[in-house]
């Protein structure tokens, strides 16, 4: 029987970028966009606040775009300060590169195992699905899901009792499956 686990965001991640007002490296989104029109050209930014001094930073989304080239639904979502759009844009690699920031997912996600009925089987197959690109160590997910220590999970991997088609060392942010043999 295949068990389905989900890595689900609980809130928006912290933005790792230097604040212009202080030496802090942590910003959080304000939940608002700023859209500015200059004749037929449009600029749009996502506003972020420093967690230490409260200084506002603008993350560039659109720059000098003609209004006709921007999809209407995108403009509507920008004007409505759509939280779903904020989550999408924060994870967009192009937006991250253009604005030189990374995301810190510490304490911004949870593992949903769907209950503990899987703990008493000898062979357990698990499919892990990510609701967002959250970089997490698979060993941490396995440890949290089964109530084990990370050292115990490392030992099980070394002994060949936890197997997967993906590398279980390091971080992963995409769906994967693994098998635990007791």
Asked if residue 99 has pLDDT above 70, the reply is: yes
| CB burial of residue 139 (10 Å; 0-12, 13-18, 19+) | buried
pTM: 0.81
Asked if residue 53 has pLDDT above 70, the reply is: yes
Give the pLDDT score at 167. Answer: 92
Encode burial over 30-39: b for 16+ CB neighbours within 10 A, e otherwise. Answer: eeebeeeeee
Model confidence at 65, pLDDT cuts 50, 70, 90, reads very high
**Beta pairing partners, 123:** 181
Asked if residue 160 has pLDDT above 70, the reply is: yes
Average pLDDT, the chain: 93
Cβ atoms within 10 Å, residue 158: 9
Select from 29, 39, 122 the least CA-distant residue to 84: 29
The answer to whether residues 51 and 8 touch, using CB atoms and an 8 Å cutoff, is no
Asked if residue 116 has pLDDT above 70, the reply is: no
Q: What is the pLDDT of residues 24-50, one digit of tens each?
A: 999 999 999 999 998 889 999 999 999
Give the pLDDT score at 23. Answer: 87
Asked if residue 117 has pLDDT above 70, the reply is: no
> Six-digit token pair at 125?
């197959």
Model confidence at 179, pLDDT cuts 50, 70, 90, reads very high
Q: What is the average pLDDT across 156-172?
A: 93
């Amino acid at each position: 029987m295949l068990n389905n686990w989900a890595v689900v965001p609980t809130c928006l991640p912290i933005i790792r970028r230097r604040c212009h007002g202080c030496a802090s490296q942590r910003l959080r989104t304000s939940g608002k966009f700023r859209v500015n029109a200059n004749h037929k050209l449009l600029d749009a930014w996502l506003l972020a606040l420093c967690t230490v001094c409260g200084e506002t930073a603008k993350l560039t989304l659109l720059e000098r775009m003609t209004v006709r080239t921007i999809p209407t639904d995108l403009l509507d979502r920008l004007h409505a300060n759509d939280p779903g759009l904020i989550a999408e844009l924060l994870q967009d690699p192009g937006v991250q590169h253009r604005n030189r920031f990374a995301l810190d997912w510490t304490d911004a996600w949870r593992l949903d195992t769907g209950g503990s009925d899987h703990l008493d089987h000898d062979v357990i197959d698990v499919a892990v699905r990510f609701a967002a690109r959250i970089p997490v160590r698979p060993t941490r997910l396995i440890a949290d899901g089964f109530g084990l220590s990370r050292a115990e999970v490392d030992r099980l991997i070394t002994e060949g009792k936890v197997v997967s088609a993906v590398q279980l060392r390091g971080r992963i942010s995409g769906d994967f499956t693994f098998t635990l043999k007791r």
